[in-house]
């Protein structure tokens, strides 16, 4: 364990819960002097007390040790609050909503921040009946590749995992999709709003001059969609 609960965290949680040192001590079966020692950094609670302390403050042991209380009230299952985490060791992709602490291989993962699509990370979207056909023009070598793509609506999240030396292509049900994300193992997370007059073939993104210019640039960068 490379972190441990500090006296400052205990004091802040105690005060937040409008609890005196004596009241906390009675809940834990220790003296108020012991609680005072913790809060003034003159000692640490025994590891066997971590769970009782967390229970006294109605939080998890993870929250207690990290000092960050997780609030997930009123998330309302809104997938548009989605956060993506990727382990740098194994490449594991984890999806969550609201605030949370995600660990993989002993590493505390930070939520990825999506950037707008750029000339080196271009996604092309076509509407095929009730689906979006998504193609990402990017190298797919073992060293540099697109790891996944996800289509997110307010009530659903569709994810497709990609693998090196494969194709970065996917189909997503259109229903309610507000944003599409994709992740480059070297450069991070990118996103795009899939709809911009997509139902209008004259002005839709999938049939626009902008698309044709982006495809031309992608072919120049990566040698066309049939490259390996």
**Under CATH, which architecture does the 115-222 domain have?**
Sandwich (2.60)
Please state the domain extents for the chain: 7-66, 79-109, 115-222
Q: Is the distance from CB of 213 to CB of 122 less than 8 angstroms?
A: no
Percent of the chain as helix, strand, coil, to the nearest 5: 25, 25, 45
* Higher-confidence position of 121 and 224: 121
Query: 55-109: per-residue pLDDT in tens?
Result: 999 888 877 877 765 544 444 446 777 889 999 888 899 988 766 778 888 888 8
Of 174, 176, 11, 223, residue with least CA distance to 215 = 223
Topology (CATH level 3) of domain 7-66: 434 Repressor (Amino-terminal Domain) (1.10.260)
**pLDDT of 76-91, one tens digit each?**
446 777 889 999 888 8
Predicted TM-score (pTM) of this structure: 0.57
Q: How far separated are the first and last CA of the chain, in Å rounded? A: 43
pLDDT band at 3 (very low <50, low <70, confident <90, very high): low
Q: What was the pLDDT predicted at 214?
A: 62
pLDDT band, residue 7 (cuts 50/70/90): confident
Nearest Cα to 194, choosing from 120, 123, 130? 123
Tokens coding 185: 């193992």
């Amino acid at each position: 364990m490379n972190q441990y609960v500090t006296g400052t965290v205990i004091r802040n949680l105690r005060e937040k819960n409008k609890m005196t040192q004596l009241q906390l001590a009675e809940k834990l079966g220790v003296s108020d002097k012991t609680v005072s020692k913790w809060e003034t950094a003159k000692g640490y609670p025994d590891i066997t007390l971590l769970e009782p302390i967390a229970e006294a403050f109605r939080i998890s042991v993870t929250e207690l040790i990290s000092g960050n209380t997780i609030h997930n009230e009123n998330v309302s299952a809104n997938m548009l609050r989605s956060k993506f985490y990727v382990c740098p060791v194994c490449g594991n992709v984890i999806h969550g909503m609201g605030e949370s602490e995600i660990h993989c291989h002993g590493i505390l993962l930070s939520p990825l921040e999506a950037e707008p699509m750029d000339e080196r990370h271009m996604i092309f979207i076509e509407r095929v009946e009730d689906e979006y056909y998504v193609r990402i023009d990017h190298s797919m070598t073992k060293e540099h590749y697109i790891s996944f793509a996800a289509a997110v609506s307010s009530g659903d999240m569709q994810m497709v995992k990609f693998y090196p030396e494969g194709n970065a292509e996917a189909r997503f049900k259109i229903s309610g999709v507000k944003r599409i994300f994709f992740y480059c193992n070297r450069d991070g997370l990118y996103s795009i709003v899939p709809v911009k007059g997509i139902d209008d073939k004259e002005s839709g993104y999938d049939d626009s001059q902008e698309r044709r210019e982006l495809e031309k640039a992608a072919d120049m960068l990566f040698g066309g969609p049939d490259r390996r």
